[in-house]
Chain A
């Protein structure tokens, strides 16, 4: 019969339509909307009914690897001084595909030798293509990709070139948004430190041994 295909199709849309109500009934007593649990359920493989997320009242949780604009990581020592992890080596500026990173390297006023901490660091967030290369290739884990994606402002000329002050965030913040990455990096660092300490200890022991041996020799001669 002509029209059966259309009826089947209408049946599918009707099922979808009815499901929006049955889902809401099944969630009576629990919050399907404006709650974390509800958003998670709507993103699961069994999601039925209303699928959309009412941004900005509800937001999708971002996964750890999510990347947006880069930020600079600094550490605070016991005396409260900030230390940039950045050494202004320039790899991020060199690898940046749209070339939106500008770094001003510090020079020691007396010796004129470069100091491993940048005077200033600029990122033009209008040009940044969020590729994540700067974070990926930074050998010092000093630049990382942020999760904050709400960057709109009223004046792009005044506000969209971020300087070092605006880019810097504490290492605790980094650990909070990317815990798995952070622990992995710290483990690698700790292993390297241990290796270094071991090597240093071995070297010291060897040096002591040779010193002793040569000392013994000298004494003998």
Chain B
């Protein structure tokens, strides 16, 4: 009878919606730990257009490349471009990817569908050498034109190359101390492309940039025939935001084109991250957006915890501490943003210092809990580094219930009705909601344009679903609204903080031990948080080893800059700096 027992068949995977919709062009990603679909390169544009228009995935969160490289001839050798999409009405991610050979990495550009892909595709070209066909302005974005190679590729070695992964071997047990600059003196620490002569170097980047500026401003109708001028703002602190440059093409005083130039602070954060072990990356995330390091910690911890799974779920108390710290960070960041926006408006440093006063008190709390005012390095996988010190909760409570509301109200009274602020802000740098979504703007910039999208609500993480708070939204999308939305958000953060302080339980702060080496199973994950500047995402790929295979940061400041040109065209030169200030960028995060 035994031969008659029905053999249990493996349940055939029913074809997913995408597979049914695009037979042949799309197949499921079968690798363990991976999600989403692999799209045929030739069909990418068609599939992407259908996904945007018919399925409603209108918000392109992240575009990035991953290098799968092995020296063995039969090993996998390709570059993958990964797309993370969301609906602007909320919900989970849709992931699709294309795979192209390493020596001929050509992918159709999606800039015409999602203008927000512009800088991200340029970054993938710069760091990975992926050519995006149809991209209007495919130049290097973070590195300089004479740079040799594409540094994120796995077979690329930097001048100070020591070893592929940390920890380096000569540190222990026979520590051999040396200074890197003694071994490799300045001047000999650069490598040039083959046949490149630094003495005869002619800059090719700037002329190309000016060409693209001209192209982008051609459709401007000239009423009076005047000569157009290019003015370079920066690279030295055009508005005290860091080393950033804007090449502005003007017609009289009106802007007809603008190109942001960045990378002066580039340190290849992602390459450092892939050389580090998982734990080592935590203090490096502090250095991204150095004004809100707790949020950066949060995003990275979430991404890795997602990959590890249940074993790394933080205990209750840790979750509350995380939320408290993240919201305090948001307040301090917004205070800074408001203060320096007013600086850009010309109210030199009085409002900024009033705001910084309150920020200092928040930093005192960080210092007492995390040990450092700015480089907090406080989160760990599965919890936080240490418990709150004694007497800090009443201090936070005092701040949240007494001082901060009082002071934010004062700031509001001081600035919001001020006629100068209003006339410089209202109707300036307007972003329509459609544009904001298409350009992948996030955070306050998106919400000030009337799109009520907040990751804490749209795709809740940690314990944000327990708190009552409003997703702030303003309707005009101008500089004044981007200022006001930050005040609104401070009030919402204060409300979340009050609830969290009321409910915070006693208990453990770490799930299990805090090992110095973390085991992360093979797979990928994309963890995102609503950072103070917008959606902060970490895309990581693990191969089960001690170091991440891919570590990518979806930096909100960087991607929010994509829309800067759109904001400024048609306005006066004096408004450029205000527009930039209203985005609230931090160059540590833009340049990474």
**A and B bound?**
yes
B161-204 vs A, CB cutoff 8 Å, 1 = contact: the mask equals 00000111011111111010000000000000000000000000
> Contacts A91-B516, A120-B175; is A97 near B284 (CB within 8 Å)?
yes
Pick the contact of B516 from A2, A9, A99, A137 — CB < 8 Å? A137
CB contacts (< 8 Å) of B414 on chain A: these are 8-9, 12-13
Q: Is the CB of B175 within 8 A of A65?
A: no
Q: Which residues of chain B in 512-539 are interfacial with respect to chain A, using CB atoms and an 8 Å cutoff?
A: 514, 516-517
Q: Is the CB of B367 within 8 A of A104?
A: no
B538-573 vs A, CB cutoff 8 Å, 1 = contact: the mask equals 000000000000000000000000000000000000
Closest chain A CB from B165 CB (angstroms)? 11
Q: Is the CB of A2 within 8 A of B419?
A: yes
Q: Which residues of chain B in 391-430 are interfacial with respect to chain A, using CB atoms and an 8 Å cutoff?
A: 395, 398-399, 402-403, 410, 413-422
Closest chain A CB from B235 CB (angstroms)? 26
A93 contacts B by Cβ under 8 Å = yes
CB contacts (< 8 Å) of B173 on chain A: these are 88, 90, 103-105, 114
Pick the contact of B417 from A8, A124, A145, A180 — CB < 8 Å? A8
How far is it, in angstroms, between the C-alpha of A129 and the C-alpha of B256 when the chains are bound? 44
Q: Is the CB of A93 within 8 A of B516?
A: no
> Contacts A5-B418, A43-B364, A161-B177; is A105 near B172 (CB within 8 Å)?
yes
Q: Is the CB of A104 within 8 A of B175?
A: yes
Pick the contact of A97 from B276, B371, B395, B517 — CB < 8 Å? B276
A111-130 vs B, CB cutoff 8 Å, 1 = contact: the mask equals 00010000011101000011
CB contacts (< 8 Å) of A124 on chain B: these are 177, 179
Q: Is the CB of A129 within 8 A of B167?
A: no
B353-389 vs A, CB cutoff 8 Å, 1 = contact: the mask equals 0100100110010011111100101000000011001
CB contacts (< 8 Å) of B364 on chain A: these are 43, 63
Q: Is the CB of A180 within 8 A of B399?
A: no
Closest chain B CB from A177 CB (angstroms)? 12
Q: Is the CB of A102 within 8 A of B172?
A: yes
A110 contacts B by Cβ under 8 Å = no
How far is it, in angstroms, between the C-alpha of A180 and the C-alpha of B175 when the chains are bound? 33
Closest residue to B404 on the A side, CB-wise?
Answer: A45
Q: Is the CB of A13 within 8 A of B350?
A: yes
Closest chain A CB from B172 CB (angstroms)? 4
How far is it, in angstroms, between the C-alpha of A89 and the C-alpha of B350 when the chains are bound? 53
Q: Is the CB of B516 within 8 A of A105?
A: no
How far is it, in angstroms, between the C-alpha of A90 and the C-alpha of B399 when the chains are bound? 42
Closest residue to B399 on the A side, CB-wise?
Answer: A45
> Contacts A97-B283, A102-B172, A124-B177; is A12 near B367 (CB within 8 Å)?
no
B306-344 vs A, CB cutoff 8 Å, 1 = contact: the mask equals 000000000000000000000000000000000000000
Q: Is the CB of A66 within 8 A of B367?
A: yes
Closest chain A CB from B389 CB (angstroms)? 6
Closest residue to A13 on the B side, CB-wise?
Answer: B350
Closest chain B CB from A23 CB (angstroms)? 14
Q: Is the CB of A12 within 8 A of B386?
A: no
Count, chain A residues at interface, CB 8 A: 51
Q: Is the CB of A95 within 8 A of B367?
A: no
CB contacts (< 8 Å) of A66 on chain B: these are 367, 371-372
How far is it, in angstroms, between the C-alpha of A93 and the C-alpha of B371 when the chains are bound? 21
Q: Is the CB of B389 within 8 A of A180?
A: yes
Which residue among B361, B369, B390, B402 has the maximum number of chain A CB atoms within 10 Å of its CB? B361
Closest chain B CB from A157 CB (angstroms)? 7
How far is it, in angstroms, between the C-alpha of A180 and the C-alpha of B388 when the chains are bound? 12
Pick the contact of B422 from A5, A93, A137 — CB < 8 Å? A5
Closest residue to B388 on the A side, CB-wise?
Answer: A65
B93 contacts A by Cβ under 8 Å = no
A3 contacts B by Cβ under 8 Å = yes
Closest chain B CB from A102 CB (angstroms)? 3
CB contacts (< 8 Å) of B419 on chain A: these are 2-3, 5-6
CB contacts (< 8 Å) of B357 on chain A: these are 47, 51
Q: Which residues of chain A in 29-55 are interfacial with respect to chain B, using CB atoms and an 8 Å cutoff?
A: 43, 45-47, 51
> Contacts A65-B369, A122-B177; is A45 near B402 (CB within 8 Å)?
yes
A136 contacts B by Cβ under 8 Å = yes
> Contacts A2-B419, A124-B177, A137-B516; is A129 near B402 (CB within 8 Å)?
no
A94 contacts B by Cβ under 8 Å = yes
Closest chain B CB from A159 CB (angstroms)? 13
B88 contacts A by Cβ under 8 Å = no
A70 contacts B by Cβ under 8 Å = no
How far is it, in angstroms, between the C-alpha of A91 and the C-alpha of B10 when the chains are bound? 46
CB contacts (< 8 Å) of A132 on chain B: these are 371, 377, 385
Q: Is the CB of B368 within 8 A of A99?
A: no
Closest chain B CB from A173 CB (angstroms)? 18
Closest residue to A97 on the B side, CB-wise?
Answer: B280
How far is it, in angstroms, between the C-alpha of A211 and the C-alpha of B339 when the chains are bound? 79
Q: Is the CB of A8 within 8 A of B413?
A: yes
Q: Is the CB of B368 within 8 A of A9?
A: no
B228 contacts A by Cβ under 8 Å = no
Q: Is the CB of A101 within 8 A of B372?
A: no
Q: Is the CB of A129 within 8 A of B283?
A: yes
Closest residue to B284 on the A side, CB-wise?
Answer: A97
Closest chain A CB from B227 CB (angstroms)? 38
How far is it, in angstroms, between the C-alpha of A67 and the C-alpha of B415 when the chains are bound? 37
Q: Is the CB of A5 within 8 A of B417?
A: yes
Closest chain B CB from A62 CB (angstroms)? 8
B475 contacts A by Cβ under 8 Å = no
B462 contacts A by Cβ under 8 Å = no
How far is it, in angstroms, between the C-alpha of A40 and the C-alpha of B468 when the chains are bound? 35
How far is it, in angstroms, between the C-alpha of A121 and the C-alpha of B419 when the chains are bound? 62
A182 contacts B by Cβ under 8 Å = no
> Contacts A9-B414, A63-B389, A131-B377; is A122 near B175 (CB within 8 Å)?
yes
> Contacts A9-B414, A132-B377, A137-B516; is A94 near B371 (CB within 8 Å)?
no
Closest residue to A106 on the B side, CB-wise?
Answer: B173
- 22 of the cross-chain contacts (CB-CB < 8 Å) are A5-B416, A5-B421, A9-B413, A43-B360, A45-B395, A46-B403, A47-B357, A65-B371, A88-B173, A90-B172, A90-B173, A93-B171, A93-B175, A95-B516, A96-B171, A97-B166, A101-B172, A102-B170, A104-B173, A129-B283, A136-B385, A137-B516
Closest 6 CB pairs of A and B: A102-B175, A5-B417, A131-B283, A105-B173, A90-B172, A97-B280
Q: Apart from A12-B414, A96-B171, A103-B171, what 9 extra A-B contacts exist at CB < 8 Å?
A: A5-B421, A9-B414, A63-B364, A97-B280, A97-B283, A99-B168, A101-B175, A136-B514, A157-B179
